[in-house]
C-alpha cells in the first residue's frame, strides 16, 4: 500500500476529489482538492493527475462533481456536457473514454423519475467501483507479471506506471513491486522520460519509497545500459492498445522497444484490459496528442532553447505488436502478441466495452 493517495474521493455525494499534485513531485507532496468538473479537467490537462488508469478514475469522480451542479432542467443533456468536457482533456488515453462510457451506462440505467440526490449516489457508487476495480486489476497484473521477472535481473522502464498512475499499485511498477515482495532482487533503470520527466520525478520517487533499488538515466542512455548488459527485461505501461496489440504509450517507448529488440532483450507491456480499444484494428488509427512546445523549450523554470524555435512534441508513440513479447493484463499474459491472441483474451469477457 502506497504511503500516499493519488486520487481519492472525500465525503459523500456532496464531497470532493482530492488529488496528489504530481507536477510538484519529487520535492513537494501537495494535495489539491477539486470541487468542480472544471478543476478536474484542468488537473488532467496539466498532468496534476496522469497515468491512463488514474485519469479514468479521476474523470469518473469528476462527473459526480459535475452532477452536484445539476439544475434539473435537462439532466441528461447536462450529464453529457460533463462527459464531453472531460473526454476532450486527453485524446490518447482510452481508459478516460472507457470510464465515461461506464458512468454513462450507470446514468442510463437509473429510472426516469430518480431524484438528483439518488442519481449522484448511484454515480458516486459507480466511480468508487471503477476505483476499486482498478485496485484489484493492479494487484492481478502484479501477480501475473511477477512470474516473468527472475531473481537478480536488471529491468528498464519508461515513464511512470506505479501507484501514481492508477488507483492501485500500478501496472508495470506493480509487476516489479510484486516480484520484489516475492523476495526477488531487482535493479530498476528508470528512463527520466522527457519532456516532463515522469521517470525522474515520479518513478524514481516511488521506487525509493518501495525500497526497490533504482538508477536514474536519461532516455538517451538506455541503449548504452542495454549494451553493457545491465538490463535483462523491459516493462512499460500503455495508454491505448489496438485490437492487434499495437500499443500507444509515452513518447520514447517505441524507441526503447527497438533498442531492446536490437539487444535481444524481451519487451513487455503491462496494462488493464480497459486499455484496449478493440474498435481500432491497428496502432496507426490511435490519435496522438500533440502537446505545448514549451514543455520542450522551457522545461523546469528555465528557457533551454532559442526564442521562437520550432518544436515537435508528440505525447505518445505507437509500438508495433511485433516488438512486444507479452502484454500483462489482470486476466493473464497475452503473448505472443497479435490480433488472434488479443481476440482470445477477450473471448467471453462481458465487462469490456
Shortest separation between residue 185's beta carbon and a copy of itself, angstroms? 15
Stretch that binds a copy of itself, among 58-66, 142-150, 291-299, 340-348 (CB under 8 A): 291-299
Reading the block at residue 42, the C-alpha cell is 484542468
CA 241 to chain centre: 12
Residue 61 within binding range of a copy of itself, rule CB under 8 A: no
For a copy of itself, the closer of residues 57 and 159 by Cβ is: 159
Tell which positions 14-43 bind a copy of itself, by CB under 8 A.
26-27
> How near is the Cβ of 300 to a copy of itself at its closest, in Å?
4
**Binding of a copy of itself by 237 (CB under 8 A):** no
Among candidate residues 239, 246, 277, 317, the one labeled active-site is 239
Check: CB of residue 58 under 8 Å from CB of residue 17. Answer: yes
Q: How many CB atoms lie within 10 A of CB 153?
A: 17
Nearer to a copy of itself, 182 or 303 (CB): 303
| Contact partners, residue 178, CB within 8 Å, separation at least 6 | 142, 143, 145, 146, 169
Question: Does residue 239 have an active-site annotation?
Answer: yes
Binding-site string for a copy of itself from residue 302 to residue 341, where x marks contact by CB under 8 A and - marks none: xxxxxxxxxxxxx--x------------------------
What is the rounded distance in angstroms from the CA atom of residue 333 to the CA atom of residue 144? 7
d(CA 82, CA 105) in angstroms, rounded, equals 14
Taking the complex as a whole, how short is the minimal distance between the CB of residue 59 and a copy of itself, in angstroms?
27
Establish if 204 lies at the interface with a copy of itself (CB under 8 A).
Answer: yes
Site for a copy of itself, residues 245 to 284, rule: CB under 8 A: 251-252, 254-255, 258-259, 261-262
Whether residue 12 is preceded by a cis peptide bond, meaning omega within 30 degrees of 0, is: no
Binding test (CB under 8 A) with a copy of itself, winner from 35, 88, 105, 208 = 208
Q: Does 221 bind a copy of itself (CB under 8 A)?
A: yes
Give the shortest CB-199-to-a copy of itself separation in angstroms. Answer: 9
Single residue of 205, 267, 268, 276 touching a copy of itself by CB under 8 A: 205
Please give, one letter per residue, the 3-state secondary structure of 211-280. CCCEEEECHHHHHHHHHCCCCCEEEECCCEEECCCCEEEECCHHHHHHHHHHCCCCEEEECCHHHEECCC
CA distance 205 to 197: 12
DSSP 150: P
Residue in 195, 237, 326, 335 binding a copy of itself, rule: CB under 8 A: 195
Dihedral-angle region of residue 245 (phi above 0 means left; psi in -120 to 50 means alpha; beta otherwise): left
- Interface with a copy of itself in residues 172-191 (CB under 8 A): 189, 191
Q: What CA–CA distance (Å, rounded) separates 42 from 249? A: 22
Residue selected from 6, 22, 95, 193 as contacting a copy of itself according to rule CB under 8 A = 193
* Angle at 260 (CA atoms; ends 142, 54), nearest 5 degrees: 35
Residue 200 sits in the site that holds a copy of itself (CB under 8 A): yes
CB closer to a copy of itself, 76 vs 284: 284
Report in angstroms how near the CB of residue 307 gets to a copy of itself at its nearest. 8
Q: Where are the alpha helices (DSSP H) in 160-221?
A: 172-181, 198, 204-210
Residues that bind a copy of itself (CB under 8 A): 26-27, 189, 191-195, 197, 200-201, 204-205, 208, 213-225, 227, 251-252, 254-255, 258-259, 261-262, 296-297, 299-314, 317
Which positions are annotated as active-site residues?
A: 239
Amino acid at each position: 500500500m502506497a504511503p500516499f493517495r493519488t486520487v481519492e474521493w472525500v465525503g459523500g455525494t456532496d464531497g470532493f476529489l482530492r488529488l496528489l499534485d504530481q507536477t510538484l513531485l519529487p520535492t513537494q507532496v501537495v494535495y489539491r482538492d477539486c470541487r468542480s468538473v472544471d478543476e478536474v479537467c484542468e488537473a488532467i490537462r496539466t498532468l496534476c493527475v496522469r497515468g491512463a488508469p488514474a485519469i479514468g478514475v479521476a474523470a469518473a469522480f469528476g462527473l459526480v462533481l459535475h452532477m452536484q451542479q445539476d439544475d434539473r432542467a435537462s439532466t441528461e443533456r447536462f450529464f453529457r456536457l460533463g462527459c464531453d468536457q472531460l473526454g476532450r482533456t486527453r485524446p490518447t488515453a482510452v481508459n478516460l473514454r472507457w470510464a465515461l462510457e461506464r458512468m454513462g451506462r450507470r446514468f442510463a440505467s437509473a429510472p426516469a423519475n430518480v431524484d438528483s440526490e439518488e442519481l449522484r449516489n448511484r454515480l458516486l457508487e459507480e466511480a468508487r467501483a471503477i476505483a476499486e476495480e482498478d485496485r484489484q486489476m493492479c494487484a492481478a497484473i502484479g501477480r501475473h507479471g511477477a512470474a516473468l521477472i527472475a531473481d537478480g535481473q536488471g529491468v528498464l522502464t519508461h515513464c511512470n506506471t506505479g501507484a501514481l498512475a492508477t488507483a492501485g499499485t500500478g501496472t508495470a511498477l506493480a509487476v516489479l513491486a510484486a516480484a520484489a515482495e516475492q523476495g526477488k532482487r531487482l535493479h530498476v533503470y528508470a528512463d527520466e522520460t522527457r519532456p516532463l520527466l515522469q521517470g525522474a520525478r515520479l518513478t524514481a520517487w516511488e521506487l525509493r519509497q518501495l525500497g526497490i533499488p533504482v538508477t536514474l538515466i536519461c532516455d538517451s542512455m538506455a541503449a548504452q545500459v542495454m549494451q553493457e548488459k545491465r538490463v535483462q527485461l523491459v516493462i512499460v505501461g500503455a495508454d491505448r492498445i489496438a485490437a492487434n496489440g499495437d500499443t500507444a504509450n509515452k513518447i520514447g517507448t517505441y524507441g526503447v522497444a527497438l533498442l531492446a529488440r536490437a539487444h535481444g532483450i524481451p519487451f513487455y507491456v503491462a496494462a488493464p484490459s480497459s486499455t484496449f480499444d478493440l474498435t481500432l484494428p491497428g496502432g496507426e488509427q490511435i490519435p496522438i496528442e500533440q502537446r505545448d512546445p514549451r514543455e520542450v523549450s522551457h522545461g523546469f523554470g528555465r528557457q533551454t532553447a532559442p526564442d521562437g524555435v520550432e518544436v515537435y512534441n508528440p505525447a505518445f508513440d505507437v509500438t508495433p505488436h511485433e516488438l512486444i513479447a507479452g502484454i500483462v493484463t489482470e486476466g493473464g499474459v497475452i503473448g505472443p502478441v497479435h490480433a488472434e491472441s488479443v481476440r482470445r483474451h477477450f473471448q467471453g469477457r462481458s465487462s469490456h466495452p
